[in-house]
Amino acid sequence: MAVSLRLVTAGESHGPALVAIVTGLPAGLALDRAAIDADLRRRQQGYGRSPRQQLETDEVEVLAGLRHGRTLGTPLALVVRNRDHANWEWGMSPWPPAGEPSGKGTKPVTLPRPGHADLAGVLKYGHEDVRDALERASARHTAVVVAAGAVAKALLAEIGITVAGRVLEIGGATGEEEMRAAMDSAKADRDTLGGIVEVVAEGVPPGLGSYATREERLDARLAAAVMGIQAVKGVELGEGFALARKRGSEAHDEIEPGLKRRSNRAGGIEGGVSNGEPVVVRAAMKPLPTLMRPLDSVDLATGKAAQALVERSDVAAVEALAVVAEAAVAFELAGAAREKFGGDALGDFVAAQRAYLERIGWTGR
């Protein structure tokens, strides 16, 4: 079987830690702890974030797969501890808690938030306490996605690929001042906002992905990876939805001698395969479901009308999504590159990539 990257995660929002296991990395890849921590920090920053982000400064720990800063080619085990767990030791104790209830999370939550996983989660799993659903559904999970993405970016850097996410819109506003104003206004109204982010990967050679199925097509894989992030409700590649309103003569990217393109409306993917242009992925995030002015709901304990749960929460997390989407795209591209170039040692992987670029005469963009 072709080698690929796999990511398995575990962890609750206020439990002891988040855990990720990454398999499929070649041996000999140098990882920079400060670079991983810098991405974790980027995820926590942003104008719309809650005070929790100041409370906790995330740091990565590595339990396996790394020796003296280099991967061993064995599963890489990453941990990001929840410092806030100190306040939830009784409430989120993995084992039956000892002593009297203390700290947070001691009383069952019975007020599901519209737009969150609360109601669907308790019905599906038969929980009586909404917390049993929301703790895993929380986007706190994305901390380890970002850590794994930082590892993927280190691998991609070895073959000249960079990935960067940025915010395009928050609450319909497109300039920094307007975005801040929109967030201030939503905060004053005790409301929340969503927005749009864009991830661009440069240096992607032609030939990642393949034509037909969702497992092979790079566009399908990237869409699934980004849609796999909480609160993402739309993903487009390149000009995406706008292409549907154009004529073919205005939609496609004409080819010039030297195999250069006049435009990149396709977002760097044709036929499910990267075409050598920058890969461009955009994601639409819905407004966050936890409102400080709660929406109408039902108290699951009584069946009567009530207001939804109010728990410390962000006004908007679009800036954080840009970092998480960057990580998700990087991880997927790194997986596609592992499938194409293989190799157990990093040198094998890089040599296969170079030989391939030589065969197709690709000098990059």
Ligand X SMILES: Cc1cc2nc3c(=O)[nH]c(=O)nc-3n(C[C@H](O)[C@H](O)[C@H](O)COP(=O)(O)O)c2cc1C
| Binding stretches for ligand X (CB under 6 A) | 50, 115-117, 137-139, 142, 229-231, 286, 288-290, 313-314, 317, 320-321, 324
**For residue 228, what are the CA distances in angstroms to 285, 287, 315, 324, 332?**
12, 16, 21, 10, 12
Q: Dihedral of CA 22/25/27/28: which sign?
A: negative
- Name the residue nearer to ligand X (CB basis): 199 or 229: 229
Q: Give one DSSP letter per residue of 206-257, joined into a string.
A: TT-S-SSSTTT-HHHHHHHHHHTSTTEEEEEETTHHHHTTS-HHHHS--EET
- Name the residue nearer to ligand X (CB basis): 266 or 323: 323
- Tell me the C-alpha distance between 4 and 209, whole Å: 12
- Name the residue nearer to ligand X (CB basis): 70 or 286: 286
Crossing angle of helices 318-341 and 346-360, in 10° steps, is 80
- The least distance separating ligand X from the CB of residue 335, rounded to whole angstroms, comes to 21
- The least distance separating ligand X from the CB of residue 74, rounded to whole angstroms, comes to 30
- The least distance separating ligand X from the CB of residue 324, rounded to whole angstroms, comes to 5
- The least distance separating ligand X from the CB of residue 130, rounded to whole angstroms, comes to 12
- The closest alpha carbon to 321, from 229, 216, 208, 215, belongs to 229
- Name the residue nearer to ligand X (CB basis): 137 or 218: 137
- The least distance separating ligand X from the CB of residue 188, rounded to whole angstroms, comes to 17
Residue 337 in contact with residue 206, Cβ under 8 Å? no
- Name the residue nearer to ligand X (CB basis): 192 or 274: 192
